Structure 1
């Protein structure tokens, strides 16, 4: 769907300026509405960008469609279809080019049509009477009837000349009709040339023929009749242009897997600028023809050479000679499927012209902008419109606009997520794939976290992980790069799916008038809003009626709900397209490019192994030397020592997996020794990495004992443990040197660990660990505990009564409706209802750090 409102503009530069201005105006207007409505930036920016891009797409498609139509039309015209036309409605330079293109196509079509009609008409009209004339003249010439020898012989010569014309025309008609198969057999070149020369001598022209073949027994494969036709036409052309008593030279010689045929005369020759025209149909030139000939002989000669997969052209005469010299370059074995330049396949030779009512020329279908951009990476193989996905996305968007604004994470968010997932999964062409179904189940579990946990940090992490996992499941990614491409493909689907969205809109209208329907809806809504507001401001009673029909939610609420509806509906619609037409990622086998020598990969790995072993020796020295040895050697306390190195050890663990991946791609595996070195060197590296993981986890444990437990430290612990799990899985894959399952295992295990954190109730676990540390050391950060979410309340209420008020803040709580219901907040609400009248926040809490 595109708009052609810029067609009256006469300049492409002005159109581009208006396009930029329209996009900027839309972006500014939407951003202003969002700011006035209190829409947050994270929601306002993508909606603004999407609407600006939509306006650009609608206007730009109409500007560039003639260019794309011309590209498609040019390809069709190159294949012989001269009836195609392009749409030329704009008045700028592109429109002028499209109009000129159409005129050119019309002229080419007219020329081609006239040529075909001429060949068919002359062939059909002259063949029968010329045959009868030849028969009569033969009788007279043979004495069957009383002849006047001179007159009758002249009549016979003219009749034979006209019969030759008809034969030439019929040959060209067969060329146009594509009815020219090759009857292949071995042809002796010397016999072929001698037969053609013998026929040429019958014409009684006063020339001598000099025939030479090198080698004398040269034999080629081809159609004898067509090759004889080629030689006869060249000899006829040369003999007609040679002076009386002249010599026509005929040369044939082998040249590798090809053979060359040259025919030269002693006539006036052909100027270089006229040589190509001499091979055109009816291309008789005074310089070439000398006043005789039909202008078809050389055209037929070119057709025969093309049919055999060769070429023909005029070349310069020999240095010591003059005249015209034609050279045909032919393969000794013609190709199986030659493509003559004049061939246009048709079922039968052209019949006599029949009156056909004029028809409107077909218009070339222009490929879409998105097809040209994403076609190679993300093809769209005839994907039809899908009304259910569009309505489903619209329904989810409306549901989100009603449910999500001004509500905390809870049951309403879960309902919207389930509805969105249902629409996307129902549209997926991989919905029966086990991996896709596994991802769907994990996404459902991740979405349920918003109903169980009040801690926004874990809920948001689960939602982000669920979105990425959903994209991977829809695309069925198998490798880490395919996971990344899958996640990127979701927002890109908003652009790639625009042609599909247009086809879906045409399903809505039934007749393809989607633009008219959209304009009607927009104008109706604008008219309703403008005149309703005018009359409401002018008449109090009318205002009361409008107020009764339209609830007073305030402008802020309307703007935010519209933004949420558009954003969520667009995300679901893009996910629906991704489900219907996922890009092909990671479908082919992984290409291994091993190095030529073992040391090229083994030496770097052994160096890394040596560094890891040296690190393990240093760790052993710390363990056996004790804290005194560490402080005496480095000047650091043990707490400072473990805090300093934890991040680096985590990065080292991640880099180890990268080293293993790179080494397995470059290491050859042909011999048992190759495989043994892979298992030994990389196995040692993995074992050392597991020790590093244990060291990192131990350091974090010591650090937490010294400084307390936090959410970030918990996440880092889990992340390091997940890396250790991947190292163990890598070792398991190294046994068989096959680990195609490893990327998916890492993805699913990471999601499972995230769900495990959510099931653990992380805020409650952190509170418990800090309280245990308080009992052991007498130190605790009461402010941090009070800042934890309501999920920690069950643990904090186990404190003695005099300490509960140190760790629990009962702030004013709004009344949640059922769409905001959440297990953690529900427990906190019950506790607050029991204690809010007597609760006081202590400031003199013991052990405060």
Structure 2
């Protein structure tokens, strides 16, 4: 992804304290400027406050990016290192204390990786080296024990040779231990080099290898200050290595010569040589010389000779390396100073260079060890991505699963925000609002992970129908309810929830997505502005916009008709309106972007609810349910007493008229129905169903409660009907009727689910049926229905509240226009034809305009309300 590895803005600052100060100051300044600009432009508080907070958070995220990422990466890396993975590195590009800590961590990880690799190679190679002579020795001894072979000198010599190989390996391992400890003694004295080399050649000549040796020392009396035992060990190992890799009848040449700073020793053979890429690796413990050399010359070795040779040169303060040969073969050169580096003590061996890998290259430096650069963090690579603060905050409830940058999603949400800024300001709800809602839903559904789920598609279809009410109905209360229901359906569909707690958590997740999606938004913005096709597209769009604006203004100033077209297409862009439209762009685009992120990365809403363990004893849930049943039975007995006793008995007993009595109770009965559903839900979750008796008690007690609840629902609906007949019809009373009817449907669905004890479908069915009933209420045209009921009541009783009818929306105008000519003005008082553009078109207002005259009606003296008892 282009742009994802850009350097954070504050990486050049060398102090964490200064970074925090800049971060706080920038966030406060942005919040203050945006708030002041919105207040000056008249942006309402409910719009300006969330936009200001959102922009301040975005600035904080932008500046804070990379400040603590090395710490988070080190947390992940340390966990992996505890499991034995030393390949991880952290990004340490900043110049502050955290960056220094990250670089120190990388150096530590590099050293640990080298130690761990050497340990593994040690175990593998020692096992391999021991197995060969040990297997040969066991075979010889078994033959002797079984009588297959005689204990002649040749057989015993073979056994002795394998035992000596084991002894040599043990000696080398002891030397290796001294290498690791770095505490071997160094006793220096003048050493005649010619005598030392000739004795070493004489000892090497006793081997069975068919090679010759040539010694050359310049000057002949060259003497070195060195530890003679360690120096003989060095020469013996170099001769052994050279002879093993020389061809039959080959020659090994030893050369010692004085240098300006000390002296040098070279050993040259006539073997196949060592590739330049392998020359540093051969000095590793159990280092290999390549496949073409490992078996040359036979005999094999422990693989520790050259590692010990390097250790000896390090002890003396010198260096050793393979250099280019004069003709062919291998040529190793060891250089020594005039005096050892630290006489009498051992210097810890230099770190062994590691082989380069695909991600990192090591360039040895003579002055100081070099360390590989940290591999770049890749957000999509499993196991290497750090755990950001938000991951820790949201935990397993909302992990970020493979969320790369998504530039099209950000651009689509920005386009919706710009569309809303161009359409919504200074217009009533209408066709333009529906267009913005449909565009928002299309973007959200298009990027949703669950867009192929039947439940999500059903929610999307209902959301589309609910959004269309903005263009069909003028009654804002029903439109707003439909839009709120559409938002709830949208969240439930995006999260693919299945339970009531899941639906609630889905609704809460929408605003939280503005915080959870900040890292993803940052990656997307960096990918958008980091170069490539995205940056080119932005530049093209800006240049195109500039060109169109310049020429459009020129032509508008030159032609009046063209200017009229421009005014019709281009919104008003004064300073204040521009600021308002900018706030709307950020608000609407941000809301759609949060929902889009929710669809791309839905939270684990069902996992967050957890499992409920049933109670141990049946009475723990059964007793409360039976007591609630008893209360319901008592209430229904009271209702029967009222029905059979009549209105006179009620007034004599309570002092209330029947209308007052029913008004007093329908609200409480609605609340009782809701609480009953909660009781049923809780009891069903806690009740055990392991035995047949458990299931029988569950069905019986909760079934009885549901039946009694249906009676209560019927009672509440009847009370509302009586109250409406007495005091008239209102929008709220109609809405309560629909809501109570929906609760009755839910109770019936609960009874159906209880028969099979399988209710997984119930929450979704309740949610979809509720949205469907609300949509049906919008189709019913509630304001027109309320107006018609009040007109019918007026015709029967002569009672009417003209002021209430005047407050109804334009949806009621076609019904109110059917009144008699002498009173029609009483219902239409104050209404006039509005001058709406096509984006404000609304079916309810369009139908009302055809019924209204051009002048507002004036209230005649006969328009006096005869029903002053207006209740909610």
2:60 counterpart of 1:60: no
Shift in CA distance, 724/156, structure 1 to aligned 2, threshold 3 Å = closer
> Post-superposition shift, 1:678?
1.7
Q: Is the 8 A contact 1:130 1:163 kept in 2?
A: no
Change over 3 Å in CA distance of 1:811–1:129 after alignment to 2 = same
Distance 2:658 2:131 in 1: 111
Q: What's the offset of the Cα at 1:509?
A: 5.4
Give the match for residue 79 of structure 2. Answer: 75
* Counterpart position of 1:578: 598
Q: What whole-Å deviation, never above 9, does each CA across 1:769-822 have from its counterpart, x for those lacking one? A: 222222333222211110110000011101111211111134455411111110
TM-score, scaled to structure 2: 0.66
Is contact 2:829-2:859 (8 Å) kept?
Answer: yes
Structure-2 residue corresponding to 1:707: 727
Change (3 A) 1:128 1:519: farther
> Structure 2 matches for 1:823-842, cutoff 5 A?
823-832=843-852, 835-837=853-855, 839-842=857-860
Residues 360 and 24 of structure 1, relative CA distance in 2, 3 Å threshold: closer
> How big is each residue's C-alpha offset from its partner over 1:502-539, in whole Å with a ceiling of 9 and x where there is no partner?
4444554575899x9999999x99xx9xxx9xxx9xxx
Equivalent position of 1:29 in the other structure = 33
Q: Which residue of 1 aligns with 2:318?
A: none
Q: Is the Cα contact below 8 Å between 2:406 and 2:524 reproduced in 1?
A: yes
Instruction: Trace 1:408-487 onto structure 2 (pairs within 5 A).
Output: 408-487=428-507
1:760: how far off? 0.9
Shift of 1:618: 0.6
Q: Distance in 2 between matches of 1:702 and 1:765?
A: 17
Q: 1:688 aligns with which of 699, 708, 711?
A: 708
Counterpart CA distance in 2 for 1:659 and 1:127 is: 75
Q: Is the 8 A contact 1:605 1:682 kept in 2?
A: yes
Aligned to 1:656: 676
Deviation at 1:622, TM superposition (A): 0.9
Partner Cα separation in structure 2 for residue 156 and residue 734 of structure 1? 83
Q: Deviations over 1:263-297 (max 9, x none)?
A: xxxxxxxxxxxxxxxxxx9xxxxxxxxxxxx9x9x
Partner of 1:228: none
Moved more, 502-511 or 691-700: 502-511
Q: Is structure 2 residue 39 aligned with structure 1 residue 38? A: no
Matched, 1:402 2:408: no
CA contact (8 A) 1:708 1:773 kept: yes
Partner of 1:212: none
Contact 2:431/2:840, CA 8 A, preserved across alignment: yes
Structure 1 pair 759–123 and aligned structure 2 pair: CA distance change class (3 A)? closer
- Counterparts of 1:427-826 in structure 2, within 5 Å, are 427-505=447-525, 507-508=527-528, 553-586=573-606, 591=611, 593-811=613-831, 813-826=833-846
Q: Is the 8 A contact 1:477 1:586 kept in 2?
A: yes
Matching residue of 1:87: 91
Alignment CA distance shift 1:408-1:362 (3 Å): same
Partner of 1:183: none
Aligned match for 2:105, one of 98, 101, 107 = 101
1:132-170 alpha-carbon deviations (Å, 9 max, x no partner): 9xxxxxxxxx9969xxxxxxxx99999764332447899
How far 1:823 moved relative to its partner? 0.8
**2:733 is paired with a residue of what secondary structure?**
helix
- The CA distance in 1 between the partners of 2:770 and 2:717, in whole Å, is 17
Identify if the C-alpha distance between structure 1 residues 636 and 82 changes in structure 2 by more than 3 Å, giving closer, same or farther: same
- 1:44-193 alignment to 2 at 5 Å? 44-82=48-86, 84-109=88-113, 161-166=167-172
User: What residue is the counterpart of 2:315 in the other structure?
Assistant: none
User: Aligned equivalents of 1:370 and 1:512: distance in 2?
Assistant: 29
Counterpart CA distance in 2 for 1:23 and 1:827 is 50
Tell me, in whole angstroms, the C-alpha distance in 2 between the residues paired with 1:617 and 1:116: 85
Q: 1:730 to 1:107 in 2, by over 3 A?
A: closer
Report the Cα offset of residue 81 of structure 1.
Answer: 4.8
CA distance in 1, matches of 2:633, 2:594: 50
Aligned to 2:349: none
Q: In 2 relative to 1, CA 91–122 (structure 1 residues): closer, same or farther, beyond 3 Å? A: same
Superposed displacement of residue 723, structure 1: 0.8
CA–CA distance in structure 2, aligned partners of residues 130 and 827 of structure 1: 104
CA distance in 2, matches of 1:517, 1:42: 37
Segments of structure 1 that go 5 or more residues without pairing to the other structure are 133-141, 146-153, 174-280, 282-293, 297-345, 348-353
Q: Which whole-Å CA distance do the structure 2 matches of 1:95 and 1:466 have between them? A: 48
Over 3 Å counting, the alpha-carbon distance change for 1:372 and 1:518 in structure 2 is: farther
CA distance in 2 between counterparts of 1:776 and 1:448 reads 36
Change over 3 Å in CA distance of 1:117–1:654 after alignment to 2? closer
CA pair 608-565 structure 1, distance change in 2 beyond 3 A:
same
User: In 2, Cα distance between the equivalents of 1:607 and 1:130?
Assistant: 85
Choose 109-118 or 7-16, whichever is displaced more.
109-118
How big is the shift at 1:16?
A: 3.0
Distance of aligned partners of 1:813 and 1:59 in 2 relative to their CA distance in 1, 3 Å threshold: farther
1:381 corresponds in structure 2 to 401
